[in-house]
Amino acid sequence: MPLLAWVGFILFILLCLALDLGVFHKKVEAPSLKSALTWTAVWVSVSLAFDVGVFHFMGREAGMNYLAGYLVEMSLSLDNIFVIAVIFTFFQVPPQNQHRLLFYGILGAQVLRGLMIGAGTALVRRFDWTMYVFGALLIYTAWKMYAAGDEEVHPEDNPVLKLAKRFFHVTHEYHGDHFTVVKHGVTYLTPMALALVVVETSDVLFAVDSIPAIFGITTDPFIVFTSNIFAILGLRSLFFALAWMMARFKYLKPAVIFVLAFVGLKMLLSHQVHMPVEVSLGVILASLVIGVITSLMLTRGEERPVSPTEDD
């Protein structure tokens, strides 16, 4: 893709972020369920509209690769949503501050993922065996997710959090939505900053899984980057829409594990077997749909938790 396309896409994302925080969510308040669902629909619509442009300017195969990559990243984001919910609970982040924290968390994630995608693209193009490494990594990740089961997340064990507490002054009191506060001439990190550190480092760990998964679908850096960025761009609204009812999707995890294993195996056999993009997209989409339908059917009679931000 020409440089103009890259610049235009990045400027568009920056404009979306500026409008999101500076205009539509300027007021500090907890998003309602209705608002979260509306914005989730908006981001998904924008992402799919972009794919229409990919189909038109880059061709059918590129458009289907983008859609497959977007679906993989969205499915992997569900585990990320659960981790974010645990982090917010651990740090007792006030509901009205959660959107701002996630905004900067997603902004940092976009920069870090951009760097990781650039490095991954360079490796794949220079060393053919990188695809085998990525494939083995995905299969190992699938096995690790399967073996972990419902293992709990412990934010207090995060090594970066421990380093932050060691080298910076820390206060355990919230000061609105500020990440730092100055007391007697000394700058302190607030719990907002500490929670942001854990969110960012957790996303890096998820990116180690998700980025190789998209490389298993396509090695076009523009498709990898745009599908990844659009998927995490809607992560904030998706969090507020789904975090309170994640228990209803307890059977989606096996589908995600299957998708990781499938893409990993596809990468390991990439030089021996050519799999049409239609087959890859069909397998990924069918796995996720089966996971969602199974979850909703088997948890139909369970009590639904009440969202703290749900409209009356």
How do residues 58-90 score in pLDDT, each as one tens digit? 999 999 999 988 888 887 777 677 778 778 888
Least confident of 15-24, 94-103, 265-274: 15-24
Please check the confidence at residue 98 and state whether its pLDDT lies above 80: yes
The answer to whether residues 64 and 278 touch, using CB atoms and an 8 Å cutoff, is yes
* Whole-number Å distance between alpha carbons of 52 and 140: 34
The pLDDT value given to residue 49: 93
Summarize the confidence of residues 15-19 as an average pLDDT: 80
End-to-end CA distance of the chain, in Å?
A: 48
170 pairs with which residues across the strands?
Answer: 189
Give the DSSP letter of residue 1: -
Rg (CA), the chain: 20
- 201 occurs within a structural domain: yes
Please check the confidence at residue 306 and state whether its pLDDT lies above 50: no
The pLDDT value given to residue 28: 59
Ranked by mean pLDDT, the top range of 12-16, 45-49, 112-116, 167-171 is 45-49
Summarize the confidence of residues 134-141 as an average pLDDT: 82
* Whole-number Å distance between alpha carbons of 225 and 123: 15
Please check the confidence at residue 307 and state whether its pLDDT lies above 80: no
Q: Using one digit for the tens of pLDDT, what is the confidence trace for 29-57? A: 666 777 778 888 888 999 999 999 999 99
- 81 occurs within a structural domain: yes
Q: Using one digit for the tens of pLDDT, what is the confidence trace for 233-262? A: 877 777 777 765 666 666 777 888 888 888
The answer to whether residues 276 and 247 touch, using CB atoms and an 8 Å cutoff, is no
* Whole-number Å distance between alpha carbons of 134 and 263: 10
Ranked by mean pLDDT, the top range of 169-173, 250-254, 280-284 is 169-173
- 25 occurs within a structural domain: no
Tokens for 292?
């969602």
Domain count, the chain: 1
- 1 occurs within a structural domain: no
pLDDT higher for 241 or 163? 163
The pLDDT value given to residue 93: 85
Please check the confidence at residue 22 and state whether its pLDDT lies above 70: no
186 pairs with which residues across the strands?
Answer: 183
Q: What is the largest CA-CA distance in the chain?
A: 66
Q: Which of 263, 309, 264 is nearest to 33 (CA)?
A: 309
- Within the chain, strands assigned E span 169-170, 180-183, 186-189
3-class state of residue 134 by DSSP: helix
Please check the confidence at residue 227 and state whether its pLDDT lies above 60: yes
Tokens for 146?
């399967």
Strand bridging mode 169-170 / 186-189: parallel
- 46 occurs within a structural domain: yes
pLDDT band for 267, please (50, 70, 90 cuts): confident
Domain range for 171 is 33-298
pLDDT band for 24, please (50, 70, 90 cuts): low
Provide the Cα torsion 103, 19, 24, 225; round to 10°: -50
Q: How many CA atoms lie within 13 A of 49 on its CB side?
A: 6
**Backbone dihedral angles phi then psi of residue 6, each to the nearest 5 degrees:** -65, -50
Summarize the confidence of residues 129-157 as an average pLDDT: 76
The pLDDT value given to residue 66: 92
- 18 occurs within a structural domain: no
Q: Crossing angle, helix 33-58 and helix 60-91, to 10 degrees? A: 150
The pLDDT value given to residue 71: 87
Provide the Cα torsion 212, 225, 204, 209; round to 10°: -20
Rounded to the nearest integer, the mean pLDDT of the chain is 80
**What's the pTM value of the predicted model, to 2 decimals?**
0.77
* Whole-number Å distance between alpha carbons of 254 and 139: 13
- 2 occurs within a structural domain: no
* Whole-number Å distance between alpha carbons of 35 and 25: 10
Summarize the confidence of residues 119-141 as an average pLDDT: 81
Q: Which of 248, 239, 235, 232 is nearest to 293 (CA)?
A: 248
Tokens for 257?
């594990």
- 306 occurs within a structural domain: no
Number of CB atoms found within 10 A of residue 183's CB = 10
